[in-house]
Structure 1
Amino acid sequence: MSPNTHISLFFFLSISLPVLSSPYFSPPTFLPNYQNMLKSFKIFTYTPPQPLVFSTPAESLFFSSLMNSSYLTQDPEQAHLFFVPFSSATPTRSLSRLVNALRTDLPFWNRTLGADHFYVSCDGIGFNSDRNLVELKKNSVQISCFPTQRSSFVPHKDVTLPPLADPHHAPVINETKNYLGYVKYGAVKKSSLVNELRDDQDFLVERQPSDVLTCEWRLSVSKFCLLEYGDGDISGISDAVRFGCVPVVITDRPIQDLPLMDVLRWQEIAVFVRWENKSGGGSGGAKRLRHVLDRTYGDEKRYEEVRGSCVTAGQHFVWNEEPQPLDAFHLMMYQLWLRRHTIRYARSEVA
């Protein structure tokens, strides 16, 4: 947001929505389906053409966790999905040759034109005219980092990795909230809104806390954490959720790449506020933001329900070196499990 940005705020959620006690879609079926996945899900992984190098720790953790998991099978006929491993910096031509080799040497790609395959690419793969890359992009499930570029993400097919949350620091959930909101630059660009919030004693605004423990304390004693989707750094959403600091996400468009969107009802654990650029500049954004928060969560009981859902969801944002039940790795696998049903083309229909 620039200093000349006029903040137009509106709450994406309807205040008349029924109050829910769970952050999950279909709470009665979530855990039974999860247990079924643990028992049944099988993945066949192709041998990478060279040692893999990933650009982010989350990608590396996902890959190492998968390789050491019980989900892998050596029998491709038992597999629900197929993993196509390649390094983050793989050139487009090399990636096309890789897919072509799968098409030519093995029968599994052609059965679905890649629809029962998935791959990891933090930045995502853009659209391309090459047949191999077209099928990889349009059909296979892409696992990318959050947030990702709109041009490289296909909603309802692709998924994003939850940003890393430190498993070594157990969240301390304070019942007393000293601040209405916490704003950390880097998470939100310095703008007229940030400058206005500086003058509001109910908001804590700082560039960077002195250390990790200080940041975690800030999260635990603040009702809301302000984050900006798009140009800002929104990776802190994982820690905000874990420490019971309800995320307030400022965005100029609907968000379709939130982590764990197949599992979590994000409207029950976060606030989405829209801003729009308008000519003539403007002030009063902080006042309007405060009005939205007070109007929607002025009822302390409603706020505590949302905060409780936020903390419950927080366990799913933790990445462990050795995966634990219901952590980020297993919830990523659960989202893949939900995508295991694909259309298998008859051999005669394959070009």
Structure 2
Amino acid sequence: MMKTFKIWTYKEGDIPLMHDGPMSYIYSSEGHFIEEMERKGNPLAANHPDEAHAFFIPISVTRIVQYLFSPDDDPFGFMGRLQAIGPFVSRKNPKLFENLIRVLCNANSSEGFIPRRDVSMTEINGPYNNTPIVSGGQSPHNRSILAFFAGGNHGIVRKKLFQHWGNKEDNNIQVYTYLHKNQNYIEVLSQSKYCLCPSGYEVASDRLTEAIYVGCIPVIIKNNYVLPYSDVLDWSQFSVQVPVAKIPDLKRILQDIPFSKYLEMQKRVIEVQKHFTVNIPAERFDVFHMILHSVWLRRLNIRLLKS
């Protein structure tokens, strides 16, 4: 890919909607991706449209919502008229959709995400002008908490999780809306063997990368979620997938995993950290290149399907 794949980034358009994106919070991947694609010296950048295999429109969906969307607007009608990108709004322009490789955090197969053509990417909660911290966390032998989650109780999956495990006096499964004042979120993650990653309003969340960054095995509790970079990453080797219907059995499921298997999975979590890491500028095998590798594979598939 690095020697062959070339992408032309359109020069047209003005900020804030074009050539700019958020560099912090949960949509920071959008801003970092635009910045990297337009960075001077990017080896994947095409020098001329004629040599490009793919074309990138450096438009920020987040900025569109921020600057142009009004609460009184019909969101799907508005977004569909302006830009066909997201799982729902892409349906507003079927002709354009035929030629798009969409890169989406919210990779929900029940909402029109097509795995053979679309790209699932991880949501990353990045601080402004800095990279998220990646570490090994506590030793796997010193993690005293079996499973942990702290966050808002919203969405069907989280409501079920809180119904069975929320705010209970159970040192094994700790599920809270808010931590105690003397607790640090990252420290508690680092002390946990398994980090629960349930869907919220949407299937995507930054919980997945938070877990991986601290060496905690992600427990994926989602319906219809297409796992990121699964063309090359075998998620069964470094994560646990629990069906939503099995939430009441969560404790038993995790306790039944032999400690030797846990150690193997935790070791692989550390090994795959580099594939979820944000580097500025991008480095080989990091999350930026994982996204583009997924795009490259789908670009090849589109060519084969049309030939």
TM-score, with structure 1 as normaliser: 0.67
Aligned residue among 169, 175, 180 for 1:205: 175
Q: Which residue of 2 aligns with 1:142?
A: 102
Q: Which residue of 1 aligns with 2:134?
A: 170
1:44 aligns with 2:3: no
Q: What CA distance in whole angstroms lies between the structure 1 residues aligned with 2:46 and 2:117? A: 23
Count of aligned pairs? 269
1:300 aligns with 2:259: yes
Residues 1:146 and 1:241: Cα distance change in structure 2 (over 3 Å): farther
SS of the residue 1:314 aligns to: helix
Q: What is the CA-CA distance between 1:123 and the residue it aligns to? A: 6.3
Q: What is the CA-CA distance between 1:247 and the residue it aligns to? A: 1.3
Do the aligned residues in 1 keep the contact of 2:134 with 2:277 (CA within 8 Å)?
Answer: no
Residues 1:125 and 1:309: Cα distance change in structure 2 (over 3 Å): farther
Amino acid of the structure 1 residue aligned with 2:268: S
Residues 1:285 and 1:262: Cα distance change in structure 2 (over 3 Å): closer
Equivalent positions of 1:216-235 (< 5 A) are 216-231=186-201, 234-235=205-206
Aligned residue among 316, 322, 339 for 2:281: 322
Q: What is the CA-CA distance between 1:302 and the residue it aligns to? A: 0.9
Alpha-carbon deviations, 1:211-246, whole Å to 9, x = none? 9x9222211211111121253773111010121211
Moved more, 303-312 or 134-143: 134-143
SS of the residue 2:44 aligns to: coil
Q: What is the CA-CA distance between 1:259 and the residue it aligns to? A: 2.0
Do the aligned residues in 1 keep the contact of 2:118 with 2:298 (CA within 8 Å)?
Answer: no
Q: What CA distance in whole angstroms lies between the structure 1 residues aligned with 2:184 and 2:273? A: 19
Q: Which residue of 2 aligns with 1:33?
A: none
Give ranges in structure 2 of 5+ residues lacking alignment: 65-77
Q: What is the CA-CA distance between 1:303 and the residue it aligns to? A: 0.9
Give the alignment's Cα RMSD to 1 decimal: 3.1
Moved more, 240-249 or 225-234: 225-234
Q: What is the CA-CA distance between 1:63 and the residue it aligns to? A: 0.9
Q: What CA distance in whole angstroms lies between the structure 1 residues aligned with 2:88 and 2:105? A: 8
Do the aligned residues in 2 keep the contact of 1:173 with 1:220 (CA within 8 Å)?
Answer: yes
Amino acid of the structure 1 residue aligned with 2:31: S
* Larger CA Rg, structure 1 vs 2: 1
1:265 aligns with 2:234: yes
Q: What is the CA-CA distance between 1:314 and the residue it aligns to? A: 1.9
Give ranges in structure 1 of 5+ residues lacking alignment: 1-36, 97-120, 277-283, 347-351
Equivalent positions of 1:1-351 (< 5 A) are 37-51=1-15, 52=18, 54=21, 56-68=27-39, 69-88=42-61, 89=64, 91-95=79-83, 121=85, 125-128=89-92, 133-146=93-106, 150-164=110-124, 166=126, 167-175=131-139, 176-186=142-152, 188-189=158-159, 191-195=162-166, 198-209=168-179, 214-231=184-201, 234-251=205-222, 253-256=223-226, 258-276=227-245, 286=248, 288-295=249-256, 297=257, 299-341=258-300, 342-343=302-303
Q: What is the CA-CA distance between 1:184 and the residue it aligns to? A: 0.9
Q: What is the CA-CA distance between 1:141 and the residue it aligns to? A: 0.2
TM-score, with structure 2 as normaliser: 0.75
Report % sequence identity: 24
Residues 1:308 and 1:94: Cα distance change in structure 2 (over 3 Å): same
Q: What is the CA-CA distance between 1:325 and the residue it aligns to? A: 2.6
Amino acid of the structure 2 residue aligned with 1:171: S
Residues 1:237 and 1:95: Cα distance change in structure 2 (over 3 Å): closer
SS of the residue 1:183 aligns to: strand
Amino acid of the structure 2 residue aligned with 1:319: V
